[in-house]
Structure 1
Amino acid sequence: MSSHVPHSIGIIGLGNIGRYHAEQLSSLTAQLDVEITGGMDISPMARDRFEEAFGAPAYDDPESLYETTDSVIITTPNQYHEEYAVGALNADNNVLIEKPVAHTIDSAKRVHETATQSSGICMVGFHNRFASPVQVLKQYVREGRFGEIHHIEAKYIRRRGVPGRGTWFTEEESAGGGALIDIGAHAIDLALYLLDFPCVTEVSGVTRSVFGDRPDYTHLEMWGEHGDGPFDVDDSANAFIRCADASTISLDVAWAANRTPSTEFVIQGTDAGARLDLSDGELTVFESSSAGAPHFSDSEITTRDENPHRQEQRQFIEAVREGRPLSVNTVEQGIVVQQVMDATYRSSERNGAITLDTEPMPTAD
């Protein structure tokens, strides 16, 4: 029998992402002595599905859940992140909140302020950091294999991938934005993570809505379902991001585009470079040398297939159990990502660059 009291976790927001988190947690129950003790959603149908699938009670108010849990995972529409994160942290719960921190920069800052005053841990769900090839790539960065990294190309492009036309995903009031705040958040975070989160000094960007509200929008599949709400958000974004250490990021994000899909990240360094494709885990390191004779060397890296959401949950639970501060996916880092997204939107509106002065925060993980 385990010497630990099972760590109790609840899920707030029992839609697709919430159920997926619960499924991954279920596979960790024996390894980490974790127990899913409840869920919360305003939808009776979602609560019924959760109770049937996971054998835990589902509530229509968060206070009942806070009383039965040590930690909560928040997977609601973005506009409710602040409400539930602040409530959970004030109840001394630990929080894993799906990206972004919130739907606006001001809301995100209020989450951060509460997190700094709470005894609970608050982690932001940028799960791509925990993919095996990303972990290898980050270790090579730490070891200095690439020398000084001066530029990263970050692409997160779907051919037709609006997650749910007419749902909260495509409504600015609920989501805070479209493709940029949905998948762009992942691209910005991963690029800054590989650069060790330097100070961001300037953002120049353009956001567009080209495909999402067209009546002739043609797709083969959709992650979510059609809804009756508006489409008043961006479906693509391009940005150029400057940092104080002279490194730069070019960002290319789209829910829909007439091109091949891509989740490609390209690193350009003084000693080596790399190409990572998140869709299939392919990682190639590009090097050159004059040893023996001038030559190029391209190394293909093969890694074990690990579920990044599950690895993220493991990091969160272990940090809570050990009572140690987070060194990865911190709210502070989430705020920087939010600042870059906010600056991209403002840059697009003003048709000019936006000056920033974010706090540098080297990743110690």
Structure 2
Amino acid sequence: MNTSTNTEPHVPPRIGLIGLGSIGHIHAEHLQTLASEGVVELVGGMDIASEACERFENRFGVRAYENPDDLYETVDAVIIATPNRFHEEYAVSAFESGLDVFLEKPLAHNLRSAERIAKAAEKADGIGMVGFLNRFNDAVRVFKHYQRQGRFGEVTHVEANYVRRRGVPGRGSWFTNKEISGGGALVDIGVHAIDLALYLLSFPEVDELTGVTRSQFGGHEDYTYLEMWGEDGEGVFDVDDSASAFIRCADDRTVSLEVAWATNRPPTTEFVVQGTEGGATLDLDGNITIYEASNGGAPHFADSEIATRRLPAMRSELRAFLSAVAHDEPPKLNTVEEALVVQRVLDGIYRSSEGGGAVSLRENPISASD
């Protein structure tokens, strides 16, 4: 980290982007908005593809490099938005260069790689943060506010749904190539659902889980969709397009998980939370309903509808990272350690699906040295 940034928090951190595809451009757009507030300076980008560098330079008016070392010399921190397989390469080198690192979810394409990133982050002087933007969703923030006040008592179960009816993000792209992505719907959007569910439970220790992954729609020639986030490519489709799992945590806290890129049911991003004093339904569209019961006056149920402002969650997330960089303080949310727990759950669900039974996470058979 730059010394002047450490001692003068009012000096905007200099940020560079690694991975100049669609997600990189979205980050850059938010960074430019934040730059207008004086909280950041977007100084450059990096991609191994010269065409991507040229597009980035033309659109955002900053230098783009094909070698990460050239970028590292100009910045205080980097945002890594590459395909999953390349997270480790850039995260480890950035940490070793003394930089602060924001890494898009998931931590890596597999558990071994994720553990090596976590090991590098632990040794590094710079801070690390992982891109689970839904923690910054206004509905989630409101829920956590009331949770801290004790309104829900002990939260014991989360029903986590992250379901698209037809939403494969580009068949034949890197998203659907297991070697590059590490998995399909479970890795792409399931990682959000797992992280948020554990966050709503205050990140208990995960004991065991059972799960099933499926590939039923995305690889078929007659896959029917109305719109697609990406575009069809010429590559393979060898990943899951849906997953179901049950996760058991310490003190009998549990998560039921339903994830899909494609399925024959209504789409939903609804999280149902059960607590000993109250419960809630959160929708990532920004709405909350709180469910309570009382004997006050007479026995009754009370359902409270809450609407939020729905500010851009990614921008709020980046603002938190930039604040941590500017003040040289570890982030309070989205830590690398928490992301490693999520990665172990992902790995466990795949192992359970392959083996047909429950998987214990109390004994982790993989170490970073493997």
TM-score relative to the length of structure 1: 0.96
1:151 maps onto 2:157 in alignment:
yes
CA contact (8 A) 2:17 2:46 kept: yes
Choose the corresponding residue for 1:26, options 7, 32, 37. 32
1:131 maps onto 2:146 in alignment:
no
**What's the counterpart of residue 363 of structure 1?**
none
Deviations 1:161-207 (A, max 9, x none): 00010010000000000000110000000000010100100010000
1:298 maps onto 2:300 in alignment:
no
CA contact (8 A) 2:45 2:63 kept: yes
AA matched with 2:147: V
Give distance in 1, aligned partners of 2:39 and 2:331.
Answer: 20
Mean Cα displacement is larger for which, 164-173 or 292-301?
292-301
Choose the corresponding residue for 2:70, options 43, 46, 64. 64
1:211 maps onto 2:217 in alignment:
yes
What is the SS of the residue equivalent to 2:323? helix
Deviations 1:284-336 (A, max 9, x none): 10111111111111101122221110111111011111111222100000000
AA matched with 2:15: I
Choose the corresponding residue for 2:328, options 314, 323, 328. 323
**What's the counterpart of residue 259 of structure 2?**
253
CA contact (8 A) 1:128 1:308 kept: yes
TM-score relative to the length of structure 2: 0.94
Deviations 1:242-269 (A, max 9, x none): 0111110000000001111000100011
1:347 maps onto 2:352 in alignment:
yes
Deviations 1:194-228 (A, max 9, x none): 10100100010000100010010011111111111
1:75-224 equivalences under 5 Å are: 75-224=81-230
Mean Cα displacement is larger for which, 286-295 or 185-194?
286-295
Number of equivalent positions? 357
AA matched with 2:120: T
**What's the counterpart of residue 361 of structure 2?**
356
What is the SS of the residue equivalent to 2:330? coil
1:225-236 equivalences under 5 Å are: 225-236=231-242
Which ranges in structure 1 are unaligned for 5 or more consecutive residues?
360-365
CA contact (8 A) 2:12 2:326 kept: no
**What's the counterpart of residue 334 of structure 1?**
339
Give distance in 1, aligned partners of 2:24 and 2:59.
Answer: 12
What is the SS of the residue equivalent to 1:249? strand
Q: Tell me the CA shift for residue 31 of structure 1.
A: 2.3
Which ranges in structure 2 are unaligned for 5 or more consecutive residues?
1-7, 365-370
1:238 maps onto 2:244 in alignment:
yes
Give distance in 1, aligned partners of 2:188 and 2:325.
Answer: 27
CA contact (8 A) 1:89 1:114 kept: yes
Deviations 1:56-78 (A, max 9, x none): 01111111111111111000000
Q: Tell me the CA shift for residue 144 of structure 1.
A: 1.3
1:17 maps onto 2:28 in alignment:
no
CA contact (8 A) 2:173 2:232 kept: yes
What is the CA RMSD across the aligned residues, in angstroms?
Answer: 1.3
Q: Tell me the CA shift for residue 358 of structure 1.
A: 8.2
CA contact (8 A) 1:336 1:358 kept: no
CA contact (8 A) 1:209 1:235 kept: yes
AA matched with 1:352: G
Give distance in 1, aligned partners of 2:221 and 2:295.
Answer: 58
Mean Cα displacement is larger for which, 341-350 or 137-146?
137-146
Give distance in 2, aligned partners of 1:313 and 1:149.
Answer: 28
CA contact (8 A) 1:201 1:358 kept: no
What is the SS of the residue equivalent to 1:245? helix
1:39 maps onto 2:45 in alignment:
yes
Deviations 1:81-134 (A, max 9, x none): 000001111111111000000000000000000001111111000000001110
Structure 1 residue ranges (4+ consecutive) displaced by more than 4 angstroms after TM superposition: none
What is the SS of the residue equivalent to 1:31? coil
What is the SS of the residue equivalent to 1:237? strand
Give distance in 1, aligned partners of 2:116 and 2:40.
Answer: 29
What is the SS of the residue equivalent to 2:37? helix
